[in-house]
Amino acid sequence: MTAPRILLFDSGMGGLTVASAVRQAEPGATLIYAADNAAFPYGAWDEPQLVKRIVAVIGKLIDETRPDLVVIACNTASTLALTALRERYTVPFVGTVPAIKPAAEQTKSGLIGVLATPGTVNREYTKTLIHTYAFHCKVFLHGAKRLAEIAEAKLKGQKVDPDELKHEIAPVFRKRDHKQTDVVVLGCTHYPLLLDEMRAVAPWPVTYIDPAPAIARRVSDLLRSAKMKDAQMNGAAAHGTVFLTSARGRGSESLAAYAAMGFAANEVLDLPV
């Protein structure tokens, strides 16, 4: 049987945190990464237009990479477009959603912070997760406008401004009735890239929940239960390739960052917005 081919998709570099977890769980798999950098960041998009964009881009990527499984390593894309993707394409999808359930199980104070993009915070899907799994907790949602961009800048070798970072995460550190936030959900795959810096500027220690390990376990479960294609792969993208939707992501800093995370080859699938 051929090695399973896994396509990991995000608007930018955040999904690399998920790719690392999947690589650890499935070291024999062929991993291909795709960043819709032409449309980054997704938070500024009108939702119906963004769904249309994601469905179209994924279709092109499936044609190019011929995956056995697609990981939508992006909270915004998952909460918005996962249903449409599953309706449109037959390949299995694994999504990324805010880890509200494990946060509710782990908190001792009952005060939970959720850091996410403004779009994810405002989406009905997120509110449903809270009502279903954390109804007994107080959840502080914060739509961080700059965290994803700060994370990408760090990957490209730029210094993180601790004051800016502290300002971005401060709203989820709250106190109430002699208790304080003790669990913070990282509701965007970019945010684990800043974990060390967050710990350094946070007003007190908390448990941070990174969804990547759970996503990797789900990938392994699906691969165990699925029948892999034994198709001809002549011309298909090789392991360790990153696809970009715009050549502007081909700067030396960006390519070095992808290479450092295991994606040294690159191709541009020109899909302008």
Residues 150, 138 share a domain: yes
Residues 6+ apart with CB under 8 A from 251: 156
Residues 91, 11 share a domain: yes
Cα of 17 vs its chain's centroid, Å: 7
Of 160, 183, 210, which residue is a domain's last?
Answer: 210
Residues 6+ apart with CB under 8 A from 27: none
Given a cut of 80, whether residue 119 has pLDDT beyond it is yes
- Asked if residue 241 is part of any domain, the answer here is yes
Task: Determine the average pLDDT of the residues in 36-50.
Answer: 89
Residues 112, 204 share a domain: yes
Q: What is the pLDDT of residue 249?
A: 73
Q: What is the pLDDT of residue 131?
A: 97
- Asked if residue 273 is part of any domain, the answer here is no
Given a cut of 60, whether residue 33 has pLDDT beyond it is yes
Residues 117, 23 share a domain: no
Range with the poorest average pLDDT among 175-179, 226-230, 237-241: 226-230
* Number of domains composing the chain: 2
| 30-35/93-94 β-pairing | unpaired
DSSP string, 32-69: EEEE-TTS--GGGS-HHHHHHHHHHHHHHHHHHH--SE
Residues 217, 193 share a domain: no
* % residues pLDDT > 90 (the chain): 82
Residues 105, 203 share a domain: yes
Q: How far apart are CA 270 and CA 118, in angstroms?
A: 27
* % residues pLDDT > 70 (the chain): 96
pLDDT digits (tens, 9 = 90+) for 79-89: 999 999 999 99
Residues 206, 104 share a domain: yes
Residues 217, 92 share a domain: yes
Residue 39 domain boundaries: 5-96+213-268
pLDDT digits (tens, 9 = 90+) for 194-207: 999 999 999 999 99
- What CATH number is attached to the domain comprising 69? 3.40.50.1860
Q: Is the distance from CB of 204 to CB of 179 less than 8 angstroms? A: no
- Asked if residue 83 is part of any domain, the answer here is yes
Residues 104, 92 share a domain: no
Q: Is the distance from CB of 249 to CB of 33 less than 8 angstroms? A: no
Residues serving a catalytic function are: 74, 188
- Asked if residue 202 is part of any domain, the answer here is yes
Residues 186, 239 share a domain: no
Of 195, 210, 225, which residue is a domain's last?
Answer: 210
Residues 117, 181 share a domain: yes
Measured in degrees and rounded to the nearest 5, phi and psi for residue 6 equal -120, 125
Given a cut of 70, whether residue 228 has pLDDT beyond it is no
Residues 205, 153 share a domain: yes
